[in-house]
Amino acid sequence: MMFLIVLYLIVVLLMMMCRMNKNLYLFLFVLSVIIQTNYGALLHEKVYVPPGEPQVCKYSGYTIAAGTTFNDRTKCAEYVCSKSGNANELLLEVVTCGVASMNVKKPCFVEFPRQGIPYPQCCSPKVVCPPGAKL
């Protein structure tokens, strides 16, 4: 939250100094909110494909055809293999939940979704408390 406040103040100062268009100011503010609330991990990797070989991305024991998406329900991740603008090159994108920190006091606990739920639904832990307990 502190990051958002600092970013907001910087944008306001820039706006005053540069006399920015109000629409641009609003766009930058909304963008900062999106960046602040988007917790996840993202990997981009170029995959070289030798001439004559199948157009597939290989990663973590999986083979993903170019132009397809694979949802790994065991690792709560999504793999996207797409063609790049260069011949013999593909782009692999791996998206996972990332890391979140929660401070939960007993008798409450954090419950994670069971294995087998697709990404991104598997990224939603919830705090569970017995009846009458407070967070």
Quick check: 97 pLDDT over 70? yes
Quick check: 86 pLDDT over 90? no
Residue (of 51, 117, 47) closest to 81 by Cα position: 47
Q: Are 77 and 43 in contact (CB under 8 A)?
A: no
Confidence of residue 32 (pLDDT cuts 50, 70, 90): low
Rg of the chain on CA atoms, in Å: 21
| pTM for this predicted structure | 0.61
The domain ranges of the chain are 2-37, 41-96
DSSP state of 53: S
Q: Are 76 and 127 in contact (CB under 8 A)?
A: no
Report the pLDDT value the prediction gives residue 78, as an integer from 0 to 100.
95
Quick check: 94 pLDDT over 90? yes
Report the pLDDT value the prediction gives residue 47, as an integer from 0 to 100.
93
Query: Would the CA dihedral through 95, 45, 69, 58 be positive or negative?
Result: negative
Question: In this predicted model, which residue has the larger pLDDT, 85 or 15?
Answer: 85
